[in-house]
Structure formats: structure tokens, C-alpha cells
Structure 1
């Protein structure tokens, strides 16, 4: 099977992320996009336009946006939960029965998973370094499903500041803000194809003071609106990204069915590690075989051993032979076995003596 094939756009579903602090308009904007997306699918006659929007709600936001869905004539189905296992189930149900999945807020699922793990494991002083491997592996079950699901999905997440240390003129290191990230597992923000930062803006110099929300597109893989800002954004502002999608086509995120089984043995040991050990054994067996037939330290014995090595490896240098891979050493070992023992190389497990093939030399002596 060939690995590469002719490129085509296989991004058929919207995978968006919206983050912001409290009151920045995450839920409102996500609702705007969800309603606009369903209406867009209806206008285009695309599959899913006649299905409901599914709202996975961790902070009662669905109660406040329900009137907007009612006004648009779009059924809204809600599940209020913060259990990580429900997050995976929600994607399956939305893929089968819904037109769109809105998750608000993804941050609760991550913190809830971490908190419950710490409680069940008795981590009274916080999670340990070894705990993160399991947590990240479990979380990857969701991100893989998110990227590959046949469903339009928006992740709303709380924003948090990123910090780093910088050395000041006085030589002291100061902790400073360096950016904003979504409060979830560290790599979650990389998964959406479009990532939006919502921020609340205020102008108190006017009477009355004005308040509005600004959307900044931090990432747009289509590059159509990458880096752009929209005041009180609407669905139309994000339409250039959506029109880039292969709506109604076949969706293919990342092939997660392929693995690296060929790199491991059945017991999970890395194959390179086992081959290195097997090469060391093969070299040791070659040494013992040469000593068996050409033992001693005489010049004749040394010459005979060198001749055998040159016959099998095309070199008399043992240091060079040690650089060969296991396949080359194994082939040479078999050649030496045939030359000196008169049979193919064999190793029989202890207790299975009936499978052992007597060397030709021993057969000749018995005759």
C-alpha cells in the first residue's frame, strides 16, 4: 500500500475553538456561529441542516441562548455535565443525530478529570509528574475523536495567561505575562482549525459608556481571516473560513488506525533493543563456533578463524564486524554453521531435544 496519494481537501467539518475570560462573549459568539452554520447548510441543501444543535453545557449557558435557537427555528438539545466520559459520548451522539456540537466549557472537563484523578489516587499535595502521562493519554482520546469526527464542533474554553521569567536590568528575574492560552490540556489549542480569542472592550468616556466584544482570529489554517479582528462578530465574519471547508464532502482528519507495531515485539519491547541483544548473542555464538573448530592461540588457529570471518563477513576485522546490523550478522552466522557444522544454524529451546538436528560432523562420526 502506498503511503502518499494525490492531495484533496478532506476537511468537511468545522473544528473551531473560542477562548476568553468571563463575560468576553464566548458562548454568544459560539451560538452565532452554530445558528449561522445550520442556516448556511439549509440554504446549500447540505446534510445536517435539518438536524438539531447539541449543546454540551457545563455552566448553564444553554439556558440563556435557547431563545435565539427558538427564534431561528433550530431545535436545541442539551446535556448538562462535566464528566469526561460524557464528553466522548457527546461527540458520538452529535455525529449520529445532530448538525452541530457546541461544548461550553471544555476547561471544566479537563480540570474535572484532573481533580477526580487526584482525589481517587489520594494526591493530597497535588498531581505527581508520573500522573500526567495517564491524564494526557486519556485526553488524547477526546482530541483524536474531535479532529476526526463527522460533526461540526466548537470548543469554548476559559482563557488563562502564559508566564515566563525575564531578567531585568538589575539582574533579577521577573515573572511576566507572555500570552494567552486556553485553559485545558496544554495542546488542546492546537487542535481547532480556527482559534478565536474573545475580549470585552469598554469606552467609559462616552455617555452612557459603551461595551462591545472583539474577536481576534489567532489561527486560521485557511489563512482567509488569520489575524483579523471583528467587533461584535457575526457568522458572516467567519464565513471565509467556513467556505474553504469541503462542506458535504468526505472528512478525513488524521488516520489514527495506523500504528508503529512493526517497531515493537509482542511483549512491547522495542524491536531495535531486541535486535541489538540478539546481535550480541549471535556474535558470541560465532566466537564459540570458531573456538570449537579452531581453538587455541597458535598462528594456524588464528589464521583459520580469520579465514572463516573473511568468508562470512568479507572482512577479518572484528571491530568492523561489530558494526554490522543483526540481519547481516545472522546471515553470516548461518553461513558459518553450514560451512563448519554442515547444517543450517539452529537454536532449540531446552526440553525440546527431539527437534535438534545433529551437526554433519557428529553424523559422520556416528556412521
Structure 2
């Protein structure tokens, strides 16, 4: 990631070419596949001569449509060696702007809009994490801000860092995150010296984490790449697993439904005991206590209320078998039908409306 002119495309190209050449040295079949460039800024036109010089075939698609981003990841995985995305920021902006236009959000996106947008963007991040293809994506940099209280007690908005201009969590997905920056200094006697610096913001291999490189080349990133299992099996994240076991069939959280069902069951238990052993005499209370102890293992109603839903459900069934001589079952009572009205010869109500009233 970086700002304009910081060397994002150039460095991404350097890494892509070096990676393909390394795969060829190791005689990996992927090294003979083309590099695929998903281009939103026409940057591919300027770097194509570098791929030609390295005898690497370059396939280019110029688009900013989010649906093309998803298709490109799948195609690169099946037929490419490296996918280069430049810039990922355009795809995020494209889907958010089109959503706002189609929803007629003239004053900007609303809070409820972000749930859908983040879910759609998640389709890309799932593909990114699980893809067996090497993916290098460039993103425009943006500043992070926060409020701080100054000496006079007033709050000031201050820059606190730099992040990639895409969906908020995009920067968490890559295995290595590089911040590109342009530097310059005046030369004594006239002129300006310009160079680019790569700062490793995140490196999961930890081999170059936090290091900086001036005018970086592929060799600078090689320690991280050597850590990869090139040519080996890529084990991604199982995105087919869900949390269905946490929810009831109607979508309500399971714990919430179980709590309500437990309350209903406790009420039914109290009512069925009262039905068979009515009254509040000392003898009735003793008989009810004996029954609770037999079924629940405790005479204390307060303790019984702390039992979990499966225990309450099982004990209710045991109580029904003992008292009702059948398993517990809730049956909806039949709804009484209205008696048919007398009809005249023409099929209408034989009693005039006024008389009926």
C-alpha cells in the first residue's frame, strides 16, 4: 500500500517476476503459467515490457467491477502463476458507490448498508485466503485519525497511522503487508534525489517483520518467500462450516430459545403437580416434595430452576410418565368450527340482515 508515486505497481511487478523465476528454477509447473494482471489504472501497460524482458506471459484485464475481481481469482488459481491486483481500492469503491446509487443514497451510505457490503466483500477475502494462487494486491493508502485532547482541553483530530483504502479489515488478510513511501532530498549544488522505501508492516514468517528497504528488489523479500511451501499443499480455511448448531430453526439464538422453553417447562411441571396433588396442606406439600425429590433429585424448587434445559426436559417427560401414564406431548386443541347458517333457495342467508340484527 502507498500514496501516489510511492512505487506500489513497480514493487509488485518486481515481486511477481522474481516469484515466477524462482518457481522456474525449482522446476515447478506453475512457473510456466502466465501472470494475470487485474488492472484498474492502466498500470499494466507500463510494466509489460519488464515481463516481456523476463519471457513471462502477461494476461491483462482492465476492469473495476467487483464481480470481475471474484472471477479473476478463480481463473488465476486454475490457469495462472501469480495474480496481480492494482488497485484493490478501486474494487471496494466501485461496489460501495454502485450500491449507494442503486439504493438512491444521495446523502451517503446508512448504517444498515454496511452489513450487506461487508458480506459481499467477504466473498473476495474468503477466495483470497484459500486460493492456491499467489496474489499480490496493491492498495491506495489512507490516513487513520483519532481525537486527542490538547493542553487547553479541546479535542483535536490527529493522524495516527496509515491504512489501506479498502474494506476496513482487508489489511488483515495478506501474509505480508508492505508500506511503500517516496522520499526526496535536495542535492547540494542543485537537483533532487528521489528514492522509495518499503517498510514491512506485517510479516507472518517474522523474518523481515519491521524492516525497511530502499528501492527494494525481489531479494529483499526473499526471506519471506523462502518460508512459503512453494509447490506444496495449500491448506486454507474451511468456509463451509457454520454455526447452525447455535440457532433454532426459526433463526433465533439457541440459548435464548432454550431459556424460554425451560421457563415454559417449569411452569408446566408446577401445573401438572398441582393438578394431581392440589392443596397447600402440610401433607400436600410433603407429597409434592417427595415427588420432586424422586424425579429431580432435590426438594428445592430454587435448585431445580438452575438445571439446564436438557435436564428439565428429561425430568418433565419422566414426570408425565409417572402422573399421566404417557410421554409428554403438547397437542394443539382442535378449533371449533362455526355452525353453518341456514341458506335460502338462492344460496344466500335466509334471515334478512335487518331481522337478524
**TM-score for the superposition, normalised by structure 1:** 0.89
Work out the CA distance in 2 between the residues paired with 1:23 and 1:217: 18
Work out the CA distance in 1 between the residues paired with 2:82 and 2:187: 40
Work out the CA distance in 1 between the residues paired with 2:166 and 2:13: 21
- Report the counterpart of residue 38 of structure 2 in structure 1: 56
1:125-164 superposed matches below 5 A: 125-164=107-146
- Report the counterpart of residue 284 of structure 1 in structure 2: 267
**Which of residues 310, 318, 323 is equivalent to 2:306?**
323
- Report the counterpart of residue 173 of structure 1 in structure 2: 155
Give 3-state SS (helix, strand or coil) of 2:140's partner.
strand
Alignment partner of 1:261 is 2:269? no
- Report the counterpart of residue 274 of structure 1 in structure 2: 257
1:148-227 superposed matches below 5 A: 148-206=130-188, 207-227=190-210
Alignment partner of 1:103 is 2:81? no
Work out the CA distance in 1 between the residues paired with 2:268 and 2:249: 25
Shift of 1:349: 4.3
Work out the CA distance in 1 between the residues paired with 2:39 and 2:263: 59
Deviation digits for residues 23-74 of structure 1, max 9, x if unmatched? 0000000000001110010001112100000000001100110111111110
Work out the CA distance in 1 between the residues paired with 2:142 and 2:248: 43
- Report the counterpart of residue 303 of structure 1 in structure 2: 286
Work out the CA distance in 2 between the residues paired with 1:347 and 1:60: 68
Number of residue equivalences: 334
Work out the CA distance in 2 between the residues paired with 1:168 and 1:269: 47
**Which of residues 202, 205, 222 is equivalent to 1:239?**
222
Work out the CA distance in 2 between the residues paired with 1:350 and 1:264: 28
Alignment partner of 1:36 is 2:18? yes
- Report the counterpart of residue 9 of structure 1 in structure 2: none
Structure number with greater Rg is: 2
1:62-141 superposed matches below 5 A: 62-141=44-123
Work out the CA distance in 1 between the residues paired with 2:331 and 2:54: 76
Give 3-state SS (helix, strand or coil) of 2:29's partner.
coil
Q: Structure 1 stretch 264-273 or stretch 81-90: which is displaced more?
A: 264-273
1:11-30 superposed matches below 5 A: 19-30=1-12
Work out the CA distance in 1 between the residues paired with 2:35 and 2:88: 17
Shift of 1:313: 1.4
Work out the CA distance in 2 between the residues paired with 1:172 and 1:264: 47
Work out the CA distance in 1 between the residues paired with 2:300 and 2:155: 57
Alignment root-mean-square deviation, CA: 1.3
Residues 20/332 of structure 1: CA separation in 2 closer, same or farther (3 Å cut): same
Work out the CA distance in 1 between the residues paired with 2:45 and 2:71: 21
Give 3-state SS (helix, strand or coil) of 1:216's partner.
strand
Deviation digits for residues 255-286 of structure 1, max 9, x if unmatched? 21211111112222221122112111211111
Shift of 1:350: 4.3
Query: Which residues of structure 2 form unaligned runs of 5+?
Result: 336-357
Shift of 1:343: 2.2
Q: Which has the higher contact order (CA 8 A, sep 6+)?
A: 1
Shift of 1:299: 2.1
